[in-house]
Amino acid sequence: MEKQARRTNKPEITPINRTIRIGYVGGGFLAQNAHLGNFSSLPQCHLVALAERRPHLAEKVALHFGIDKTYPDHLSLARDPEIDAVAVSADYAGQGEIAADLLRTGKHVFMEKPMAVSTRQAERILDAANEGNTRLMVGYMKRYDTGNRRIRDLIRQWQQDRGKGKLLYIRCHGFCGNWIAGLDTSGLIRTDESVGAIAAEELLPDWLPADGRRGYVGYLQQYTHQVNLLRFLLDAQSADDVLVTNVDLSADGYTGLVTLQIKGVRCVIESASTKFHGWDENLHVFFEGGWIRSTPGLLFSRPSTNDIEIYESGENGGIHYPATSVNQSWHYRAEAEHFLQCLQTGAEFDSPGSDALIDVGIFETIYQKFIHSSKK
């Protein structure tokens, strides 16, 4: 209990009531196509430094985004006293270690998902934040998508509306295809410098067999978004709110169905890797008296659309499309704005590290069940 209390966001941390001075770690694909453009143009912050292990890439990316200082790694950036907070997008296991180092040295951190590859790693990251008296936000951009926030409001309204009856089921369909569909990558800055990723083996769960690593990481990398979104929609803020009831994945450890009870509501995540031209995602929320369905737009479309369709039963019912279904802001930009605003006001993040820890635990459970069932 004491440990739990230590890990929630700390309201005693003083808000930064001025322009936030941001550093960035990792000048690769996602940084160039999403975060650096946002942090270099949002009025709430000044992007002052970039750490990138590939020196030529660092130089070119810094020049492109008008960043004055570059550092060869995150540790040298962490020593820069000018920097208040750091955004990080590096390799899937290494970025948690980078975040921990930064948090421990007094920098607030916005990091890409996944926060960690095991609860052990996630807990160490949160301990580092505690040591440095700093705050961690995880970049679950689906929580900042206007369409998803609208669906969350509708679920809350319908749960209060007796006419809508029981919330029966949520189907979360997420077939991976070309995730950069619609994105012009011709301007991507590349160099031929190669740097190895941090060895992930020691950070992975102890119980995970070597032949399960690839599937585990692949599944976690993608479907952490879906688990996190479902918890957000149903306001499930505790690990006890979620039960993994069935895991039916193919031998690839990726394709299939995972069923969860989230706050007593049955939810299913449909997963697969496909050759489709885009990302095939949709969400279908079924009440006794109607349903809400959304089909999000492409990941990199700005502003993205999130087409919501509503069916209501009853005499005057039918299908309709709420006018607010079009996003006003790109989800990657909205999450960056939220990070800065919370640092300035002291408000809680909508996706704090303490909450992301729950997702990591859920993935360990899903995969333990998968490995157990595949041995039968």
Ligand X SMILES: NC(=O)c1ccc[n+]([C@@H]2O[C@H](COP(=O)([O-])OP(=O)(O)OC[C@H]3O[C@@H](n4cnc5c(N)ncnc54)[C@H](O)[C@@H]3O)[C@@H](O)[C@H]2O)c1
Give the whole-angstrom CA distance, residue 78 versus residue 183: 32
Judged by beta carbon, residue 221 or residue 259, the one nearer ligand X is 221
Tell me, what DSSP letter sits at residue 14?
Answer: P
Using the structure block, give the residue that is written with the tokens 């399960």: 212
CB of 34 to ligand X, least distance (A): 7
Build a one-symbol-per-residue string for 31-70: x at contacts with ligand X by CB under 6 A, - elsewhere: x-------------------xxxx--x-------------
Q: Is residue 29 close enough to count as binding ligand X by CB under 6 A?
A: yes
- Chain residue at closest Cβ approach to ligand X: 28
Q: Which amino acid is at 136?
A: L
Which of 321, 275, 271 has its CA nearest to residue 294? 321
Q: Is residue 128 close enough to count as binding ligand X by CB under 6 A?
A: no
Name which position in 73, 80, 127, 252 contacts ligand X (CB under 6 A): 73
CB of 29 to ligand X, least distance (A): 3
As a whole number of Å, the CA-based R_g of the chain is: 21
Interacting residues with ligand X between 327 and 356 (CB under 6 A): none
Which of 142, 99, 112, 140 has its CA nearest to residue 30? 112
Name which position in 9, 38, 95, 226 contacts ligand X (CB under 6 A): 95
Give the whole-angstrom CA distance, residue 28 versus residue 11: 33
Q: Is residue 30 close enough to count as binding ligand X by CB under 6 A?
A: yes
Judged by beta carbon, residue 24 or residue 287, the one nearer ligand X is 24
Judged by beta carbon, residue 51 or residue 236, the one nearer ligand X is 51
Which of 221, 22, 220 has its CA nearest to residue 108? 22
Instruction: Determine contact, residues 236/262, Cβ cutoff 8 Å.
Output: yes
Q: Is residue 90 close enough to count as binding ligand X by CB under 6 A?
A: yes
209 by Cβ neighbours in 10 Å (0-12 / 13-18 / 19+) ranks as exposed
Name which position in 112, 145, 270, 355 contacts ligand X (CB under 6 A): 112
Q: CA of 191: how far to CAs of 1, 23, 29, 59, 94, in Å? A: 49, 22, 12, 11, 21
- Helices 119-132 and 353-375 meet at what angle, rounded to 10? 170
Among the listed ranges 90-98, 160-168, 315-323, 359-367, the one in contact with ligand X (CB under 6 A) is 90-98
Judged by beta carbon, residue 139 or residue 290, the one nearer ligand X is 139
CB of 64 to ligand X, least distance (A): 14
Instruction: Determine contact, residues 146/324, Cβ cutoff 8 Å.
Output: yes
CB of 30 to ligand X, least distance (A): 3
Q: Is residue 28 close enough to count as binding ligand X by CB under 6 A?
A: yes
CA dihedral over 296, 265, 120, 103, signed as positive or negative: positive
* Total chain residues near ligand X (CB under 6 A): 27
Among the listed ranges 2-10, 26-34, 272-280, 347-355, the one in contact with ligand X (CB under 6 A) is 26-34
Q: Is residue 74 close enough to count as binding ligand X by CB under 6 A?
A: yes
Name which position in 104, 107, 113, 150 contacts ligand X (CB under 6 A): 113
Judged by beta carbon, residue 94 or residue 174, the one nearer ligand X is 94
Q: Is residue 228 close enough to count as binding ligand X by CB under 6 A?
A: no
Instruction: Determine contact, residues 86/109, Cβ cutoff 8 Å.
Output: yes
Sheet (strand 85-88) strand order = 69-71, 45-51, 20-25, 85-88, 108-112, 136-139
Q: Is residue 107 close enough to count as binding ligand X by CB under 6 A?
A: no
Q: Is residue 98 close enough to count as binding ligand X by CB under 6 A?
A: yes
CB of 98 to ligand X, least distance (A): 5
Name which position in 38, 70, 89, 119 contacts ligand X (CB under 6 A): 89
